Chain A
Amino acid sequence: MSQPAAHKQAIKSEKRKEAEPVPSKFRMLIRRKSTLAFLLCIPLLALIFGLIVYPFFYSIVLSMLNKKETRFEGFANFLFLFNRDTFWMVVRQSFLFTLTAVFFKALIGFIMAHLIDVLPSKRQRLWRGLALIPWVMPPALSTLGWWWLFEPSYSAINWILQGLFGVSVPWLSDTFWARFSVILVNIWFGSPFFMIMYLAALKSVSADLYEAASIDGASAWQKLIYITIPMLRNIIAITMLFSTIVTFANFDIVRVLTQGGPRHTTHLFGTYSFTLGIQGGDIPLGAAVSLFMFPILALLAFFILRNVRQRVREI
């Protein structure tokens, strides 16, 4: 990557020496354009500051008001949440949901990418295309399909289980199975994304490495451990961090599938905040719940940024 770039650079600087007036005119033009450059970014800046940065700080202010938003109450909302068992259950469930779902999404995505990589290249397109469909459907709507699948008496999953084992599972009304279900749907929705990322990364690993390893008599397992995983380490890290943010902040799946129930046991920060803030009309309390996500999101964002920067340097 860097060699042709350096080569190009060399050619360019040579050209510069030959034709001095053009680049200096060009550079002058650019300098004059720094005002223009700023003007072109104004819509973006307005969007970021008006609809992302300002709302974020506004949400901190909101979280410190009382329910009617008439009085400043400091950390009362946060203290209130700290004393609620339901809140701690939401915290635990959010972590359980995120860690389990991300782990299995990464695992299934990794296995699928390898399976597709084995196929002859003209077949890969079709299989990759089919496997990505869950990611393409709007999650609120595909979750409706899962909701119907989990229906206990008229639907397909329990019909199969009934036929094979003679049992019916109360998918969405039992705490354990409801938690299992929301995680399963999230895995279903998210693993294709991992597959695509890994597959793209696998293509970028040079075939020479594998060939050299084969000549040295390395087994497929050794190639995986000593070539594939080290070469893919960075992309695995970035994809997992990305997915952790998205999964942690999930809303659609839980909202449609269980609405947080039974008895709040499947709530995540997002859905719990919606239930309290929008449905329950306690905007400040809802804001406080969603703000609890912030430290974790900030930590993840920090690691992603570091990884992405590292990657830029490598390229």
Chain B
Amino acid sequence: MMLRKIPPLGNMKKNRRWALIAAYFFLALFVIFFLFPPFYMIVTSFKTNEEMSSLKGIPFIINQEPTLSHYKNLLTETLFPTYFKNTVMVTLCTVALSMTISILAAYSLARMRFWGSSLLATGVFLTYLVPETLLFIPLFKVVGALGLLNSKWALVLVFPTLAVPFCTWIMIGYFASIPKELDEAAVMDGANWYQMLFRVFIPVAMPGIIAATIFAFTVSWAGFLYPLAFIYSNEELVLTVGTVTTLIRGDVMHWGGLMAGAILAAAPPVIIYAFLMDYYISGLTAGAVKN
């Protein structure tokens, strides 16, 4: 009689079902909140200006004939294609540069020792915590002194400061988790350091490299403050700043074109994420969980 009453099994099953239904219900609410803005952006980009200014019908569905004119206009009448090209070039260079620096350093810090190497590993982590808003003003002067002001190549110089610390940090974690027996075997086979790096470490740590590459890509693609501060002529602008500053026009109904631009500019990171979600998430959690 002193025993606590254990609920009958059927009751528990029923409770479980209700818990599941409640979970789906509340999740659906949250997901509506999370997805409504991008959804509304897409809908707006297909609406005619007449429909938007008429104020008739429900705003978040397309009531009249959908139109591609905003996209057509964006690709033919504006500098959007130039921005896209600039962003692709800057991002490719940033990723290549950041990954080279990070992989070399992480390989060294994970396996070899030199005076101050553990201090450097901590330093890498600390620099990851330095936000861009702290450094954009002195970097403005540095970029100016190098004669790179108003050039997209300035971004290739400064974006790695945002990507490299995190990439190095997670690559140290991935490299350190490779069993030492593997390097010993490689040394016995007479491999030198770069053979070891390219034949053993990089192939084995591929998931980490993909995660770090995605991170570098995202940082560079989404970068906003540095291009906003360092670049002012239209031909050199990148997607984020170009969309925000030049597609907003004085006349009333610029929303369709603006949303079309924002959707096209945001698409590549979202597409990459859709295909490589697991790597993306492992990279995200590795920063704090690993090491």
Q: Total number of A-B contacts with CB less than 8 angstroms?
A: 304
**Interchain CB contact under 8 A, B255 and A154:** yes
Say which residue of B105, B113, B184, B270 sits within 8 Å of A136 (CB atoms): B270
Stretch at the interface among A51-59, A165-173, A174-182: A51-59
Task: Give the shortest distance, in Å, between B195 (CB) and chain A (any CB).
Answer: 13
Quick one: which of A119, A154, A155 has the most chain B CB within 10 A? Answer: A154
Contact B113 A30 (CB under 8 A): yes
For residue A144, CB closer than 8 A to chain B, the reply is yes
Which of A43, A129, A286 is within 8 Å of B277, CB to CB?
Answer: A129
How would you classify the secondary structure of chain A's contact residues: helix, strand, loop or mixed? helix
Contacts of A35 in B (CB 8 A): 114
Q: Is B100 an interface position by the 8 A CB rule?
A: yes
Known contacts A47-B164, A48-B124; decide if A34 and B255 are in contact (CB<8 Å): no
Contact of B142 among A51, A146, A304 (CB under 8 A): A51
Q: For chain A residues 1-42, which have a beta carbon within 8 Å of chain B?
A: 8, 12, 22-23, 25-26, 29-30, 33-38, 40-41
Chain B 98-144 residues near chain A, CB threshold 8 A: 100-102, 104-105, 107-109, 111-115, 117, 120, 122-127, 129-142
B31: CB under 8 A from chain A? yes
Q: How far is the CA of A283 from the CA of B266 in the complex (A)?
A: 32
Chain B interface residue count, Cβ-Cβ cutoff 8 angstroms: 105
Q: Which of A36, A48, A130, A139 touches B222 (beta carbons < 8 Å)?
A: A139
Residues A43 and B100 in contact in the complex (CB < 8 Å), given A55-B142, A269-B133: yes
B84 within 8 A of A: no
Residue of B nearest to A153 (CB): B55
A249 and B27 in contact, given A138-B221, A242-B288 (Cβ under 8 angstroms): no
State whether the Cβ of B240 lies closer than 8 Å to any Cβ in chain A. yes
CB 8 Å contact bits of B18-37 with A (1 = contact, 0 = none): 01100110110011011111
**What B residues does A90 contact at CB under 8 A?**
none
Interface membership of A239, Cβ < 8 A:
yes
Contact B35 A133 (CB under 8 A): yes
Identify which of A78-86, A108-116, A205-213, A221-229 touches chain B. A108-116
CA–CA, A137 and B230, complex, Å: 23
B positions within 8 Å CB-CB of A? 4, 6, 19-20, 23-24, 26-27, 30-31, 33-38, 40-41, 44, 52-53, 55, 58-60, 100-102, 104-105, 107-109, 111-115, 117, 120, 122-127, 129-142, 157-158, 160-161, 164-165, 168, 179-181, 183-184, 187-188, 193, 218, 221-222, 224-225, 228-229, 240-241, 243-244, 255, 258-259, 262, 265-266, 269-270, 273-274, 277, 280-281, 284-285, 287-289, 291
Known: A130-B31, A235-B289. 14 other contacts (CB 8 A): A8-B179, A30-B112, A58-B141, A58-B142, A115-B27, A118-B19, A119-B20, A129-B277, A131-B27, A133-B34, A141-B243, A188-B37, A293-B133, A308-B288
Q: Chain A residues in contact with chain B, CB under 8 A? A: 8, 12, 22-23, 25-26, 29-30, 33-38, 40-41, 43-45, 47-48, 51-52, 54-56, 58-59, 62, 108, 111-112, 115-116, 118-119, 125, 127-134, 136-142, 144-146, 148-149, 151, 153-156, 159, 188, 192-193, 196-197, 200-201, 217, 235, 238-239, 242, 245-246, 248-252, 255-256, 269-270, 273-274, 277-278, 283, 286-287, 290-291, 293-294, 297, 300-301, 304-305, 308, 311-312
